[in-house]
Amino acid sequence: MTKLILPPGYHSSTDLRQTQKAIKLIKDTFQCKLAAALNLQRVSAPLFVEENSGLNDDLNGVERPVSFDIKQTGVQAVIVHSLAKWKRMALKLYRFEPGTGLYTDMNAIRRDEETDNLHSIYVDQWDWELIIRPEQRTTDFLQQTVRKIGQVLTDTLAELKKTYPQIKTEINPEIYFISTQELEDKYPSLSPKERERAITKEYGTVFISQIGGPLKNGLPHDGRAPDYDDWSLNGDLLVYNPVLQDAFEISSMGIRVNAVSLKNQLRQAHCVQREKYPYHQQILSNQLPLTIGGGIGQSRLCMLLLGKAHIGEVQSSLWPQGMRETCAKNGIYLL
Question: Annotated catalytic residue: which of 31, 120, 125, 209?
Answer: 125
Question: Annotated catalytic residue: which of 31, 82, 110, 261?
Answer: 110
Told to judge if 155 belongs to the known catalytic residues of this protein, a careful annotator would answer no
Told to judge if 245 belongs to the known catalytic residues of this protein, a careful annotator would answer no
Told to judge if 224 belongs to the known catalytic residues of this protein, a careful annotator would answer no
Question: Annotated catalytic residue: which of 127, 129, 229, 249?
Answer: 249
- Tell me the three-class secondary structure of the chain, residue by residue: CCCCCCCCCCCCCCCHHHHHHHHHHHHHHHHHHHHHHHCEEECCCCCEEEHHHCCCCCCCCCCCCCEEECCCCCCEEEECCCCCCHHHHHHHHCCCCCCCEEEEEEEEECCCCCCCCCCCCEEEEEEEEEECCHHHCCHHHHHHHHHHHHHHHHHHHHHHHHHCCCCCCCCCCCCEEEEHHHHHHHCCCCCHHHHHHHHHHHHCEEEEECCCCECCCCCECCCCCCCCEEEEEEEEEEEEECCCCEEEEEEEEEEECCHHHHHHHHHHCCCHHHHHCHHHHHHHCCCCCCEEEEEEEHHHHHHHHCCCCCHHHCCCCCCCHHHHHHHHHCCCCCC
Told to judge if 285 belongs to the known catalytic residues of this protein, a careful annotator would answer no
Told to judge if 274 belongs to the known catalytic residues of this protein, a careful annotator would answer no
Question: Annotated catalytic residue: which of 31, 57, 116, 246?
Answer: 57
Question: Annotated catalytic residue: which of 129, 196, 236, 246?
Answer: 236
Question: Annotated catalytic residue: which of 252, 261, 298, 317?
Answer: 252
Told to judge if 57 belongs to the known catalytic residues of this protein, a careful annotator would answer yes
Which residues are part of the catalytic machinery? 57, 110, 125, 236, 249, 252
